[in-house]
Structure 1
């Protein structure tokens, strides 16, 4: 199937053709007709499957086809858990709506609200927001959400993990009851499903590439390395394998900072990205990494949401996550858009149970490499 067969309007067809889009991904092929038909939707698909286009393209098409009830009032609201992901979604809306006379506005915390308020007062069609800042502005009556026609909850499982569900419930009180609601999540644990069914009506459910599956194009391996040896081993691995660009995952913010400092001392161009960094620092690190100006980006899991680089060659799990599904999210940062990728994990004896959980979830036996393969000795 092609995008033309999905009855996408010419202005959006032109924009996505310029981006090199020809055929929709499975989630796009299934979701776009549902959204265009004005049905509520639960879309369950893992990271890197094209979820943003699955809701952004038909949402833009729907509001472009009809006049707004109130001039200048927002008609589409996208809620997402992190600033990085909000910025990424905003960039995609700009690309898909390049030839449409529609405006979109970013709303998130960590920066002054003044510019956001000013932008909202000028009128906007689409708001992409994190829940906390949006709720603050709604309570202050700086934003009118009564004209929202389409509500999108993106990365709903992450928003639950981050404690945003109560904020979302409060935001719903500012929205009209009659609206279309699109619910996207990589996983569907019972609390998420219960919440979804409480706010949706006549729902269509689509499941594509569940989070338990890992991309076939990702080459996965694990080295058994004890915690005290991990810094030395990582440096050896980066040099021996001549890794030009990689995203390295740590469990904690302080761990990310310590590892980045060590890598810099060893001569690597490295930056850290996590929740304690200012928004400016996070965006600078992301921008430089995407442009290839730095070799290594050390990240925590939440901060890494929103990193979307089609040709990122490597992901390294410096520490294995305690939640098995997180592993799938992490390695899904490579092997995107039909490209191959390499995911390497360092596993200490304390992390063996985490490795077992990952292999049980994915149904894959991850290749165990000997340290001697890369000539490493303690």
Structure 2
């Protein structure tokens, strides 16, 4: 099948061809006709399956067929909600690329950047807005954005919005849009809460399921190291010196963990950048650029930050901390071994993370090979360390009494 078969018009087909694509991916093939037919869609597709074009191309087509002239003043007719700034920027770039031969205007709205330029652009008038939930609601409160003319609303990475606590904001935004609109929901996994959200805001949606979340990337070799928690950094250094080569993405569970590992690797002479939610937009962008341009070959990130990154040439993924949600493991390792390339994933598991391995292996239906031959093996009988506070009981001295009881009054009760 080619893009021509999907009934897209010439200006859009021309832009797609210029981007170097000739045939649609599975998610595009299934989603585009449904969107063009005006249906609500719920699609389960992971990053890297071409899902942005699956909604961008048909939305541009629908808007192109009834474009407002620039003089009349444009109204926002398509709104895409995205959980992270990086993802929002990426989606906006896709829309701009595919609309190169139309006069449709796209803008991106996100927090952590000055609000004034965003207000100025809105005043000039745009057709398509890609936004993170917080900043969009801020602009709405200030009466700077009008959502009364929205024809298509897209919720991208709905499961991540749930993890980040945005679900209430998303529901609010949906209510601010007109009742009669088309809604498209994309999510890599379909937890109960996402299904619940879909059932409340989508009207008899069509379902598209592309990547069954259990299929761990076929082009990725996986290996598991059991290691005491206290030795993970030493094991990481040992493997970076001997085994793991190329462009490497290392996952840690917390921002503090990311910073700590970054400092250690830099001290040991590695070229490292890091990426997490507390960094400013310009720091995150600069870290990403340095990694993409080879000034650093190691990027350390938290899951939430990494969901918005699209890196093509990735040789290895390291799970420094094991994820407690098994689908997250599939996402992480799926970032390498893309587009016919082969990749490797290395996972460090301490005693308290063994239960996670069990659920991951059930999901991917595979036993992850274990590598015992390393300098920091975990005692197979090691029990997880449970940290307890040494202090117990009240901080007050024993026998301390309040004023009332000291005077030994006879009480009336």
Q: Normalising by the residue count of structure 1, what TM-score does the alignment of the two structures yield?
A: 0.95
- Whether 1:26 and 2:30 are equivalent positions in the alignment is no
Show structure 1 runs of 4+ deviating over 6 A. none
1:78-105 deviation digits (Å, cap 9, x = unpaired) = 0011111111111211222222211111
Q: Please name the residue that 1:333 is paired with.
A: 335
Give the distance between the partners of 1:61 and 1:219, measured in 2 at CA. Answer: 40
CA contact (8 A) 1:312 1:334 kept: yes
Q: Please name the residue that 2:390 is paired with.
A: none
- Secondary structure at the aligned position of 1:128 is classed as strand
CA contact (8 A) 1:289 1:297 kept: yes
Alignment: residue pair count: 375
CA contact (8 A) 1:138 1:174 kept: no
1:84-132 deviation digits (Å, cap 9, x = unpaired) = 1111111211222222211111111112211111111111111110111
Give the distance between the partners of 2:174 and 2:83, measured in 1 at CA. Answer: 16
- Whether 1:40 and 2:37 are equivalent positions in the alignment is no
- Whether 1:56 and 2:56 are equivalent positions in the alignment is yes
Q: Please name the residue that 1:353 is paired with.
A: 355
Q: Please name the residue that 1:6 is paired with.
A: 6
1:56-75 matches, within 5 Å, as 56-68=56-68, 71-75=73-77
CA contact (8 A) 1:183 1:196 kept: yes
Tell me how large the CA RMSD over aligned residues is: 1.6
CA contact (8 A) 1:68 1:75 kept: no
- Secondary structure at the aligned position of 1:297 is classed as strand
Give the distance between the partners of 1:367 and 1:18, measured in 2 at CA. Answer: 43
- Secondary structure at the aligned position of 2:103 is classed as coil
CA contact (8 A) 2:228 2:376 kept: no
Q: Please name the residue that 2:281 is paired with.
A: 279
In structure 2, stretches of 5+ residues that fail to align are 378-413
Deviation (angstroms), 1:242: 5.5
Deviation (angstroms), 1:377: 6.0
1:37-69 deviation digits (Å, cap 9, x = unpaired) = 111100011232111111111111111111349
Worse overlay, 280-289 or 91-100: 91-100
Give the distance between the partners of 1:149 and 1:318, measured in 2 at CA. Answer: 44
- Secondary structure at the aligned position of 1:271 is classed as strand
- Whether 1:123 and 2:114 are equivalent positions in the alignment is no
1:154-180 deviation digits (Å, cap 9, x = unpaired) = 001111121111111211232111111
Q: Please name the residue that 2:268 is paired with.
A: 266
Q: Please name the residue that 2:108 is paired with.
A: 106
In structure 1, stretches of 5+ residues that fail to align are none
Give the distance between the partners of 1:93 and 1:314, measured in 2 at CA. Answer: 30
Q: Please name the residue that 1:202 is paired with.
A: 204
Give the distance between the partners of 2:11 and 2:67, measured in 1 at CA. Answer: 17
Give the distance between the partners of 2:54 and 2:164, measured in 1 at CA. Answer: 24
Q: Please name the residue that 2:298 is paired with.
A: 296
- Secondary structure at the aligned position of 1:306 is classed as coil
Higher RCO (CA-CA < 8 Å; seq separation 6+): 1
Give the distance between the partners of 2:270 and 2:169, measured in 1 at CA. Answer: 41
- Secondary structure at the aligned position of 1:106 is classed as strand
1:303-324 deviation digits (Å, cap 9, x = unpaired) = 1111112221111111111111
Q: 1:338 to 1:149 in 2, by over 3 A?
A: farther
Q: 1:249 aligns with which of 251, 255, 267?
A: 251
Deviation (angstroms), 1:243: 1.2
Give the distance between the partners of 2:271 and 2:77, measured in 1 at CA. Answer: 43
Deviation (angstroms), 1:370: 2.7
Q: 1:75 to 1:338 in 2, by over 3 A?
A: farther
- Secondary structure at the aligned position of 2:370 is classed as strand
CA contact (8 A) 1:3 1:23 kept: yes
Give the distance between the partners of 1:350 and 1:165, measured in 2 at CA. Answer: 30
1:68-107 matches, within 5 Å, as 68=68, 71-107=73-109
1:225-240 matches, within 5 Å, as 225-240=227-242
**Which entry has the higher C-alpha Rg, 1 or 2?**
2
